[in-house]
Chains A and B, each alone.
Chain A
Amino acid sequence: MKAFAFLRGVTTLVITLAGLLFITFVIGRVMPIDPVVAVVGDKASQETYARAREEMGLDKPIWVQFGRYIEGVARGDLGQSSSSGQPVVEDIARAFPATLELSVFAIVIGVLVGLPLGVYAAHRRNTWFDHAARFMSLFGYSTPVFWLGLIALLIFYAQLGWTSGPGRIGTAYRYTVQEWSGLLLIDTLRSGDWNAFRSAFSHIILPGLLLGYFSLAYIARMTRNFMIEELNKEYVTMARIKGASETRILWRHAFPNALVPVVTVIALSFGHLLEGAVLTETVFAWPGLGLYITKSLFSADMPAVLGGTLVVGVCFVLLNKATELIYPFLDPRTRAR
């Protein structure tokens, strides 16, 4: 039974990933720009054009092309970026740590603030605390992230001068930091360069807090809903009759039961951060995956756009799969018998 469930899980994962590939492949084919012209230029001779077309495999039937595409991706080949001239995989590998650092920073804030906020809002349902928390969430849900980013830059960078502006680290440190993990906060700490660390921190704080706010809005609201559902159940009344303290009821009785949906929400919100990062990175000139995708968009660099899209999609799928794998540890009811 266990082996069957595992096999089923693997099959759905493979099908989903193949589907992702098919979508990016199709998007790559419907574009109005001729991919051959994008490579050889529109002044190329007839022979050059034909040869390039053959080399790119565009003369083959569409299914063969799709097969080749999958084969390439499996080998880690996402094509060549037409704007940087580098393999797309290398470009993405360079940009990815920046996005990872920003999203991890944000999700940590989202979880640390959002979880307790949601739990206590559920506990003090319909009090001013609950209403304030709800309004904060709603505001986060409804605000365009790029706009809030611009306003934050205007206030905290330009007016008050509390933080650094766009970018990831001060220009003075850009080439002195020893790359180790690719996450600048860790790398600067590791090399013991305090000034560089301070510079990196004052750069990440604004976009990080901003994205953190958006994820905490989501996490707090969903946690509140799940907790209210649990708190209405009989075992909570039972615990109360037994004389358990409210803190104990909240964290020891109700919260563990709400944990599975809450973890799902956290994973989802991490996925949304990758999305929010596209706009935030553009506003803050943060050299991550999002900025890479938007920059490539404007140079009509389709391999780069699709490669970036695919990587984000795959991250999203794997993240969801990973949460499914930890369910049994969180909730005995989901363990396969």
Chain B
Amino acid sequence: MSAAADSLIPNSRREARLIQLRIGLRRVLRNPSTLVGGILVLLLLVMAALAPLLATHDPMAQSLVDRLTPPGAQHWLGTDQLGRDIYSRLLYGAQPTLMIVILVIAFSAPLGLIIGMVAGYMGGWVESALMRLTDIFMAFPRLILALALVSALKPGLTNAVIAIAITAWPSYARLARAETLALRHADFVEAARGLGQTGTRIVIGQILPLCLSSAAIRATLDMAGIILTAAGLGFLGLGAQPPMAEWGAMIGTGRDHIFDAWWVAAVPGIAILLVSLGFNLLGDGLRDVLDPKHHD
């Protein structure tokens, strides 16, 4: 922290918050991990949002004359076995990737937080039962449980999201329980109880805000894993269904041509790699910045 930031003395609550924000932002920008990670994630957002503008071809348009064309002036990243432009498909492929990540987190993080906080706050048999349940779900390797679920529900993007979300919530539950246990008898929680606040209100008003920053870090790091799991399902043909452009599925179709047309599988793989690298770097950096335990 620089001396200039320290010398800023806030005159009001609002000013204090702004200064905090500025200090935080400066830390985020100074940290190479968050910076590079942030740029990569931003790139994904831009690709997903501006795909129709940036694409040079229709991602679905087939042209058998141009099939398996190597990267060149006409098709920047080559074409696949149906003559579709890989560059354009790559751009459109950012959309399902982003959608899966957002939906899975939106479903699994709140569910896990609620289960974990209730378990930690209530204690007793409720805690034992909920944590047992969490352990059981954690006992399955993620991809395998997702595979079994998707195959039972029928392959498709929605079911892939459901399956991944069902495997993703336990880590939030564990985290929220640990935080809640540490806070359960904190003075400010006792004070709220003394003021007559109900359990629900204490959990939402006092405990939840303190769980959020670690949950946010967890979520960022989780996103890389979600992307890889979703890509794995897509690769096996259990995620997004053709002709939708999805990175994992694109690698799956490129697999048959890996020896004679490497770019079909190689290009979407690099995209997956960069995006999950981005989320990992961002999560790592955010942990360094936000979590005081990780400060040097």
Q: How far is the CB of A124 from chain B (nearest CB, A)?
A: 15
B232 touches A279 (CB 8 A): yes
Report A-chain residues with C-beta under 8 Å of the C-beta of B228: 142, 144-145
A150 touches B236 (CB 8 A): no
**Does A313 lie at the interface of the complex (its beta carbon under 8 Å from any beta carbon of B)?**
yes
A144 touches B273 (CB 8 A): yes
Residue on B nearest A272 in the bound complex, by CB: B141
How many angstroms from the CA of A167 to the CA of B236 in the assembled complex?
18
How many angstroms from the CA of A306 to the CA of B152 in the assembled complex?
10
How many angstroms from the CA of A31 to the CA of B154 in the assembled complex?
8
A144 touches B280 (CB 8 A): no
When A278-B143, A313-B139, A316-B139 are in contact, do A31 and B262 touch as well, CB less than 8 Å?
no
| A187-201 CB contacts (< 8 Å) to partner B | none
Q: How far is the CB of B223 from chain A (nearest CB, A)?
A: 11
Contact partner, A305, options B143, B147, B255, B273, Cβ 8 Å: B147
| A253-287 CB contacts (< 8 Å) to partner B | 271-272, 274-275, 278-279, 282-283
Chain B, 114-140, contact with A by CB distance < 8 Å: what is the 0/1 string? Answer: 000000000000000000110111011
Main secondary structure of the interface of B (DSSP, over half): helix
| A1-51 CB contacts (< 8 Å) to partner B | 12, 15-16, 19-20, 23-24, 27-28, 30-32
Q: How far is the CB of B135 from chain A (nearest CB, A)?
A: 6
B280 touches A141 (CB 8 A): yes
Residue on A nearest B166 in the bound complex, by CB: A23
B232 touches A144 (CB 8 A): yes
A278 touches B147 (CB 8 A): yes
Residue on A nearest B268 in the bound complex, by CB: A147
**Does A250 lie at the interface of the complex (its beta carbon under 8 Å from any beta carbon of B)?**
no
Report A-chain residues with C-beta under 8 Å of the C-beta of B248: 144
**Does A108 lie at the interface of the complex (its beta carbon under 8 Å from any beta carbon of B)?**
no
How many angstroms from the CA of A294 to the CA of B248 in the assembled complex?
16
A297 touches B151 (CB 8 A): yes
**Does B258 lie at the interface of the complex (its beta carbon under 8 Å from any beta carbon of A)?**
yes
When A27-B152, A144-B228, A302-B151 are in contact, do A312 and B281 touch as well, CB less than 8 Å?
no
Report B-chain residues with C-beta under 8 Å of the C-beta of A245: none
How many angstroms from the CA of A271 to the CA of B237 in the assembled complex?
24
How many angstroms from the CA of A279 to the CA of B238 in the assembled complex?
13
B265 touches A27 (CB 8 A): no
B231 touches A312 (CB 8 A): no
A316 touches B269 (CB 8 A): no
B148 touches A294 (CB 8 A): no
B258 touches A150 (CB 8 A): yes
What class of interface size applies to chain B in its complex with A? 35 or more
Task: Count residues on chain A whose CB falls below 8 Å from chain B CBs.
Answer: 50
Report A-chain residues with C-beta under 8 Å of the C-beta of B281: 138
Report B-chain residues with C-beta under 8 Å of the C-beta of A153: 258
Report B-chain residues with C-beta under 8 Å of the C-beta of A271: 141
Residue on B nearest A290 in the bound complex, by CB: B144
**Does A181 lie at the interface of the complex (its beta carbon under 8 Å from any beta carbon of B)?**
no
**Does A158 lie at the interface of the complex (its beta carbon under 8 Å from any beta carbon of B)?**
yes
**Does B153 lie at the interface of the complex (its beta carbon under 8 Å from any beta carbon of A)?**
yes
**Does A139 lie at the interface of the complex (its beta carbon under 8 Å from any beta carbon of B)?**
yes
Report B-chain residues with C-beta under 8 Å of the C-beta of A20: 136, 139-140
How many angstroms from the CA of A275 to the CA of B141 in the assembled complex?
6
Residue on B nearest A312 in the bound complex, by CB: B144
When A142-B277, A150-B258 are in contact, do A293 and B153 touch as well, CB less than 8 Å?
no
B273 touches A150 (CB 8 A): no
**Does A58 lie at the interface of the complex (its beta carbon under 8 Å from any beta carbon of B)?**
no
Most buried by B among A139, A142, A272, A316: A142
Contact partner, B269, options A147, A275, A278, A309, Cβ 8 Å: A147
B140 touches A309 (CB 8 A): yes
Contact partner, A30, options B140, B152, B277, Cβ 8 Å: B152
B153 touches A30 (CB 8 A): yes
Q: How far is the CB of B174 from chain A (nearest CB, A)?
A: 14
B141 touches A297 (CB 8 A): no
**Does B251 lie at the interface of the complex (its beta carbon under 8 Å from any beta carbon of A)?**
yes
Chain A, 130-149, contact with B by CB distance < 8 Å: what is the 0/1 string? Answer: 00000000110111111110
6 A-B pairs besides A147-B231, A274-B144, A309-B145 with CB distance below 8 A are A16-B136, A31-B153, A32-B154, A138-B280, A138-B284, A305-B147
Give 30 CB contacts A-B under 8 Å.
A12-B132, A12-B135, A16-B136, A19-B132, A19-B135, A30-B153, A31-B151, A32-B152, A138-B280, A139-B273, A144-B232, A144-B235, A144-B248, A144-B272, A145-B232, A147-B235, A147-B269, A150-B254, A150-B258, A150-B265, A150-B269, A278-B143, A279-B143, A279-B232, A293-B144, A297-B147, A309-B145, A309-B148, A312-B140, A316-B141
Listed in ascending order, the chain B residues whose CB lies under 8 Å from chain A are 132-133, 135-137, 139-145, 147-149, 151-154, 224, 228, 231-232, 235-238, 248, 251, 254-255, 258-259, 262, 265-266, 269, 272-273, 276-277, 280-281, 284
Which 7 A-B pairs give the minimum distances between C-beta atoms?
A: A19-B136, A147-B269, A275-B141, A142-B277, A31-B152, A142-B276, A309-B148
